[in-house]
């Protein structure tokens, strides 16, 4: 009885383990853009443009700090996400001060809070 249970558990693990690895490997790329001159109108227009294209979306934006966090969709590469960020800035005549990989949304929120507290 114990051997049968052990075998069942082992088979379940062998079936589930690849699914977990695949899910962890498919984390979307994120990119933080620091845009000088960002307005809520720019942010809204960027959101509309991205939703039409379907390759990225804005997951966080802080207009006072000029911070926009883009997240790739459906396997969008880091290179394509960076290219798309530059295009969005150029289309709206915004100055792209910095782009970097986003570690967490919490870090972007903290940067936003620092600007708001000034």
Which residues on neighbouring strands pair with residue 11, listed in sequence order?
Answer: none
Give the SS3 label for residue 105: helix
Predicted pLDDT at 61: 94
pLDDT category of residue 60 using cuts at 50, 70 and 90: very high
Separation of alpha carbons 77 and 30, rounded Å = 10
Q: What is the largest CA-CA distance in the chain?
A: 71
Residue 53 CB neighbours (<10 A): 13
Residues 3-58: pLDDT tens digits? 565 466 455 556 665 655 455 557 889 999 999 999 999 999 999 999 998 889 99
Separation of alpha carbons 30 and 20, rounded Å = 21
Specify whether the CB–CB gap between 93 and 41 falls below 8 A: no
Specify whether the CB–CB gap between 59 and 47 falls below 8 A: no
Specify whether the CB–CB gap between 67 and 60 falls below 8 A: yes
Regarding pTM above 0.75, the answer is: no
| Of the listed ranges 15-19, 40-44, 72-76, 90-94, the one predicted with least confidence | 15-19
Q: What structural domains and CATH numbers belong to the chain?
A: 28-116 (3.30.70.100)
**If we measure between CA atoms, which residue out of 38, 78, 36 comes closest to residue 56?**
78
Q: β-strand 95-101 against 56-62: which pairing, if any?
A: unpaired
């Amino acid at each position: 009885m114990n051997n049968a249970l052990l075998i069942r558990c082992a088979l379940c693990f062998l079936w589930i383990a690849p699914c977990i690895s695949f899910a962890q490997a498919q984390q979307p790329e994120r990119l933080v853009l620091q845009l000088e001159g960002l307005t809520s109108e720019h942010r809204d227009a960027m959101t509309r443009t991205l939703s039409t294209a379907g390759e990225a979306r804005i997951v966080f934006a802080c207009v006072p700090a000029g911070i926009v966090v883009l997240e790739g969709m459906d396997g969008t590469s880091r290179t394509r996400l960076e290219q798309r960020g530059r295009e969005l800035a150029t289309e709206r005549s915004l100055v792209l001060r910095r782009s970097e990989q986003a570690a967490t949304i919490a870090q972007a929120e903290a940067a936003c809070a620092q600007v708001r507290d000034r």
